[in-house]
Amino acid sequence: MAFYRRVGAVPPKRHTQHRDEQGCLYYEELMGEEGFSGDSSLLYHRNLPPAIVDATDWNLPDQTTMPNHPLRHRHLRLHTLFPDDRPPRTDVVTGRRLLLGNMDVRIAYVVALRASPLYRNAIGDELVYLESGSAVVETVFGPLTAHQGDHVLIPRATTHRWLPTGPEPLRAYVIEATGHITPPKRYLSRFGQLLEHAPYCERDLRGPTETSTSTGTDVEVLVKHRPGGGRIVGTRMVYASHPFDVVGWDGCLYPFAFDIADFEPITGRIHQPPPVHQAFEGHNFVVCDFVPRKVDYHPLSIPVPYYHSNVDSDEVMFYCGGDYAARKGSGIALGSVSLHPGGYAHGPHPGSYEASIGVQSVDELAVMVDTFHPLELGEGALACEDPNYAWTWSGRGPA
């Protein structure tokens, strides 16, 4: 994020004395990416930011993955992981089921009714898409409100917690990066402003507007981190005082929410390729938003995608709203995830190609992640896979 924001009380000059009404100093903390060379913010705490009294193991949900071998297209039915007739007794942080992952990114899914523990991801940024429900995300920068259709981008090492609000379960599709997630660089000016041809602009990003101040002692924070060798582990830290003790902050690093309804689709006379749908990018992956839109208006256009081989990427599509015409009849439905790996072709379901001719608009809503290295399958994927999906283009299964 290169957009300056200021919330609460900060001193006129950075790195100078900032005191409360009794004359006590606040403690300044720099949260900065890439050492001291990237985007950063300065936060002013009532208490010492590093003061912990304990650190023990936090046993993470299963993080193991297995290769997509033999190589197949996959269809995951996420709603079967958390059936509607069994209300989830879990939260957005500890209840995640790992679907797919590689060294660059991991994708998980969770349905939650409970408030999460305090948490931070020390491996990378998290981009959480809310399929349904609403929440307050309390963060060290202040609270964000989030609702169905929001992406919530939480920078690496941001202490936060998810508090579901309202009666509907919070269905969260979680993209965990190794490193950072940003708007596409081609949409940014050399100083970081979103350009005129970008599908959204700064006005569409909702950052914190006030600080969140909590008190207490011996406060637990769950930290996800990588100790080396590619392993992912968790540590339960106990802080001497509540980490939400910030009276003010400013800078260009902070969490924000972005409503997918504010993504303005880019359309054309003939079929536009997936990069026009790109909303974010991370190291070795991109995130695209497929939103309702008018479709191709050349008199001989074919509105559904052409068949394509993603030579260098695995493609993960999460179908989260509307009606995705291109895969009608394949079993793909709301709550489905398709994994179309690099190495061979995929595209519309038989009949969709012809049926799309003359269509004026599509109602689809989908979030896509394209990775530049192969994805492996997590336990959540294996628990909800439709084993017949790979054969749906041919209409025949294995002999």
User: Which burial class, exposed, middle or buried, applies to 161 when counting CB atoms under 10 A from its CB (0-12, 13-18, 19+)?
Assistant: buried
DSSP bridge partners of 345: 309
Residues 230-249 that bind Fe ion (CB under 5 A): none
- Of 125 and 314, the one with the shorter C-beta distance to Fe ion is 314
Give yes or no for a cis peptide into 70 (omega within 30° of 0): yes
Q: Which is nearer to Fe ion, 125 or 315 (CB)?
A: 315
CB of 274 to Fe ion, least distance (A): 7
Minimum distance of Fe ion from residue 285's CB (angstroms): 15
Nearer to Fe ion among residue 58 and residue 318 (C-beta)? 318
175's CB contacts (< 8 A; 6+ apart) are: 105, 106, 107, 126, 127, 128, 129, 181, 282, 287, 369
Q: How far is the CB of 338 from Fe ion (least distance, A)?
A: 8
Q: Rounded CA gap, 222 and 50, in Å?
A: 14
Kindly state the smallest distance separating residue 307's Cβ from Fe ion, in Å.
9
| H/E run at residue 10 | none
Least Å from the CB of residue 40 to Fe ion = 37
Would you say 26 or 290 has its CB closer to Fe ion?
Answer: 290
Dihedral, 42, 136, 235, 46 alpha carbons, nearest 10:
40
Nearest distance in Å: CB 343, Fe ion? 13
Over the window 45 to 74, marking each residue x when it contacts Fe ion by CB under 5 A and - when it does not, the resulting string is: ------------------------------
Q: Which is nearer to Fe ion, 150 or 315 (CB)?
A: 315
Nearer to Fe ion, 223 or 369 (CB): 369
Instruction: State the number of binding residues for Fe ion (CB under 5 A).
Output: 1
With contact defined as beta carbons under 8 Å apart, do 172 and 112 qualify? yes
What DSSP character marks residue 100?
E
Q: How far apart are CA 270 and CA 301, in angstroms?
A: 6
- 250 in Cβ contact with 5 (< 8 Å): yes
CA distance 31 to 243: 14
In the complex with Fe ion, the residue whose CB is nearer, 192 or 265, is 265
Residue nearest to Fe ion (CB): 315
Binding pattern to Fe ion, positions 284-323, x when CB under 5 A? Answer: -------------------------------x--------
Q: How far is the CB of 72 from Fe ion (least distance, A)?
A: 15
How far apart CA 97 and CA 383 sit, in angstroms, is 10
Binding site for Fe ion (CB under 5 A): 315
